[in-house]
Chains A and B, each alone.
Chain A
Amino acid sequence: MVDVSTTNIRPDRAAVASQWQLIWWAFKRHKLAMAAMVVTICMYIVALIPGFFAINDPIQQNARTTFYPPQRVHLMDTTNGFEIGLHYYPMKLTRDPETLAAIYKEDTSQKKVPIQLFGRGYTYSVLGLFESNIHLLATTDPSKPLYLFGADRLGRDVYSRTVQGAQISLSIGLVGVFMSLLLGIVLGGISGYYGGKIDFVMQRVIDFVLSLPTIPIWLALAAALPQGWPATVQYMMITIILSFTGWAQLARVVRGRFLSLRTEEFVAAARLDGVPEGRIIFRHMLPSFSSHIIASMTLAVPAMILAETSLSFLGLGLQPPTISWGVLLREAQNIRSIATAPWLFMPGLAVVVAVMALNLFGDGLRDAADPYNK
């Protein structure tokens, strides 16, 4: 029964509210999940056009800015009177007289460099469709680049690389889940719909796959990939490897839903109405669990992102020069890198934020997914 009384929706509107409307109402009450949804959407927008959000060319090396620390961006300038506008100062390099370690200090004696919104910078391609050089943030003095998250050992901009990495890391989650879903829906659906012996065998297979430890298998599969493959093929192979074990979870969900729906009276009623099998599945059964599937998918995406990150971090996933969060984190593989350049962990922060947002979003979806059984 729909719990209209606990919503602030007028009953006459609730009476004609479709399933998605009811789910949306229930979801909206979940403030944290709403916030997570906004963050998720923002991140996927960044992943769609990373070039626009980047500042420096992510593959541009710069020998003079090795381990350049993150720069501060100022809004107010009080050196000459009072001015408002985003700007920064270049860093000055000194060396510790004893250890000769590099010490960067903000050099406010130099002229400030204003930051331009929607300014021009390096040229990037938008999804391979057209090229542009407009960026959200652009420096007005290309000879004094801005490093928001600092630079790595080759002087590359960590911020722009993190933004660029979002494209691969976030999309690999989606593509991987999509492939798992195809396998999961087909196999789980067959299992749940037909039941009996087919279901029994499929259940054993699913149990078996679920009882396997994923990382060693992924490692072994990834290790078997030839090293020299082009980046796109590598990308596809990694997603296939990840879905090799990921489908079982979704198949189990789909099967469970199918099995419980098969015995629902409204499905029996549809059969008696003379509804053909295909229409029973797509018109009567699928809408009943599509919301659950979407919730399960949303919850599977972060697992995929974590898996890709771990594999690439261990050196068996994507390989440089492909930029993903896992590849970026390879730069921070030991204690020494943490001590000298902690900002190399910024991609890790991106992973945490992305995964947390997706988890919270998926959790809220799952809670709202069934508006009829309260």
Chain B
Amino acid sequence: MTDILSIAPRSSIAPGKPLLEVRHLVTEFPLRTGVFRAVNDLSFSIEPGKTLCVVGESGSGKSVTARSILQIIDSPGQIASGSILLHRPDGTSLDLAKLDPRSRAIRSVRGRDIAMIFQEPMSSLSPVHTVGDQITEVLRLHLNMSKAQARTEAISLLRQVEIPNPEQALDRYAFQYSGGMRQRAMIAMALACKPQLLIADEPTTALDVTTQAEILDLIKRLQQSTGMAVLFITHDMGVVAQIADDVLVMHHGVAKEYGPVEQIFHAPQDPYTRMLIGSVLKLEQKAEIRLARPPLDTSAEPILDIRNLSMHFGDMKALNDVSIALLPGETLGIVGESGSGKTTMGRSIMRLYDPTGGEMIYRRADGKVVDLAKLEGAELKAARRELRMVFQDPFGSLNPRMTVAQVIGEPLLVNGIARGRELDERVCHLMDQVGLDPAGRERYPHAFSGGQRQRIGIARAITLNPRIIVADEATSALDVSVRFQVLDLLMRLQDELGLAYIFISHDIGVIRYMCDRVGVMYRGKLVEMGEADKVCNAPDHPYTQALISAIPRPDPRDRDRSRRFRYTEPSPYTEAGNVKNGSTAR
């Protein structure tokens, strides 16, 4: 860790003077039908050594803002007006907005004064060049180092971002790194020339929550030791609360609110900000609907009893001897990070995969008991009418070539339940039930927003009067303000129709809001199982404890980073056994 101290800013700036001043920035994309303003009259400034978070939902223009600063907006976008003043440590100032995007002047700023990291570390690194090649390139470009010097420097950079065995890692390719390691390499590359400002465009969105915590810690540490400023783009209010000094809330290209993090979270002025914070805080506790419910009857016979379920793909044990039971009317959460086997579990229950071992005892409405794992043909078809699924991707799970009425009515039609006028009436009723206007039933899915599409998916799931619905990351693709609306809809339907849910998610907030009991999965195994409140607040298993500790709290007053810790699997192979997606770089 002493290496970090060696990164010192080239010189310090007089306090008080901002490093970067953005004034009345307008960025436009010319379209066939007119001009789309992605960023409209935006002003903000960044102080040296401080962190400014730009937060907003999808389509808010936050990413375009970040790219405008370095003039690397995707074609055909361009800065239409405004200024971006960079105050350099030597006292000179430069208006980046006035520079030609291909000019030498802006190129000498990129990577040297201002560096940037991106959301997808895999695709942001070249697949056919070694990581070392890509890091030394920037050193040789801006600092005129020799090959050998650059290599030595690159190794020390990799060491600073805590990549094990940097000498060997340097000659590896990005696809040989794990997700978190790739982002570390990106950070090393960005910090190579000791920039004054680091722009981080959703750098942790593609990562698991435990990896995210480590990357955030790393950026914070490096920032403290170098004094660089950070412009952090994110949609996650939890992350904002943990790292920001100042916050800029964006919506449809416009700044809704701009101020210190304390004010944004505890005294928001703008209605949009208030709505955003409100949505986030809602997911910090149990849903109101659930509070009104009578306590769950835990003595009832389980409607679905999964015993020793296994699903192996070749050598990969995606599901390893999992046993879990679902009570009637219960919402059972399954939580875990990517690669934990939670999606495999949902798909095995639906028999989209044929499990390689174990049984799934399903108690039908008439009290008869069947093993879902063994069902075939007509019996499987009958069971699938009572077990339904809601998918993660609101775009991929609806056939774009069928109208909404056709999508929702398909199960009724193919099961011979309704046709013609009756089918039409049933579809209208179903759309009403999920809060969609039945007048839009002849529309195609492309005419609906993400949240509306997910409602269509829910309508399709409840078409056949099911008893169990498996929801696989049903709200992960949605913006936070839409998320709890869909969750509330699911709970309302649960009351109306007496449903039991298996709710699969990586998001503890959603689980806490929604679920009665939770199972925690880790590398194909169920490591902990218990009441939602207990698991979310006082877990027993060290993995769950580590997972909970890594979740950023949406409160800037609760920033105790020391309580975070890593989970190390008790196994012989623990050299880098912290929780990662798959394995770490070997």
Contact = CB atoms under 8 A, between A and B. Distances in A.
Nearest to B415: A274
Contact of A269 (B397, B403, B415, B446): B397
Nearest to A285: B399
Interface string A6-27: 1110010011111100000000
Interface residues of A, number: 31
Interface stretch (B231-239, B380-388, B547-555): B380-388
Interface string A255-281: 000000000111011111111100100
A266 B352 contact: no
A6 B388 CA distance: 38
A268 B397 CA distance: 8
B489 to A, nearest CB: 19
A266 B399 contact: yes
B399 A288 contact: yes
Contacts of B396: 264-266
A269 B471 CA distance: 12
B391 A15 contact: no
B32 A274 contact: no
A271 B351 CA distance: 10
B460 interface: yes
B444 to A, nearest CB: 7
Interface in B9-60: 31-33, 36
Nearest to B387: A272
Contact of B443 (A16, A270, A287): A16
B395 A1 contact: yes
Given A272-B350, A274-B415, A6 B33 contact: yes
Contact of A265 (B381, B393, B415): B393
Contacts of A287: 401
Contacts of A18: 401, 444
Given A15-B443, A265-B397, A266-B398, A271 B352 contact: yes
Contacts of B440: 15
A198 B102 CA distance: 52
Contact of A279 (B388, B398, B401, B414): B414
B137 to A, nearest CB: 33
B381 A270 contact: no
Contacts of B457: 269
* Interface SS majority for chain A: helix
Contacts of A275: 410, 414
A229 interface: no
B447 interface: yes
A19 B400 contact: yes
A194 interface: no
Contacts of B318: none
Interface string B440-452: 1011101100000
Which of B32, B393, B444 is packed against the most chain A CB atoms within 10 Å?
A: B444
* Interface SS majority for chain B: loop
Contacts of B392: 265
Contacts of A276: 414
B437 to A, nearest CB: 12
Contacts of A372: 400, 446
Interface in B493-528: none
B414 A273 contact: yes
B32 A19 contact: no
A266 B447 CA distance: 17
Interface residues of B, number: 35
B411 A288 contact: no
Nearest to A270: B410
A19 B381 contact: no
Nearest to B410: A273
Interface in B411-464: 411, 414-415, 440, 442-444, 446-447, 457, 460
B389 interface: yes
B410 to A, nearest CB: 5
B384 A272 contact: yes
Contacts of A284: 399, 402
A232 interface: no
Interface in B69-111: none
A217 interface: no
Contact of A273 (B400, B444, B447, B460): B460
Contacts of A270: 399, 410
A15 B444 contact: yes
A16 B444 contact: yes
A268 to B, nearest CB: 6
A6 B31 contact: yes
Interface string B113-151: 000000000000000000000000000000000000000
A8 B395 contact: no
A14 B33 CA distance: 15
A274 to B, nearest CB: 5
Contacts of A268: 352, 391, 397
Nearest to B393: A265
A269 B32 contact: no
A208 B340 CA distance: 41
B33 A16 contact: no
Interface in A272-301: 272-276, 279, 284, 287-288
5 contacts: A6-B31, A265-B392, A273-B460, A274-B415, A287-B401
Interface of B: 31-33, 36, 350, 352, 381, 384-385, 388-389, 391-393, 395-403, 410-411, 414-415, 440, 442-444, 446-447, 457, 460
Interface of A: 1-2, 4-8, 11, 14-19, 264-266, 268-276, 279, 284, 287-288, 372
- A-B pairs with lowest CB-CB distance, top 10: A15-B447, A265-B397, A2-B446, A273-B411, A266-B399, A15-B443, A265-B396, A372-B400, A19-B401, A287-B401
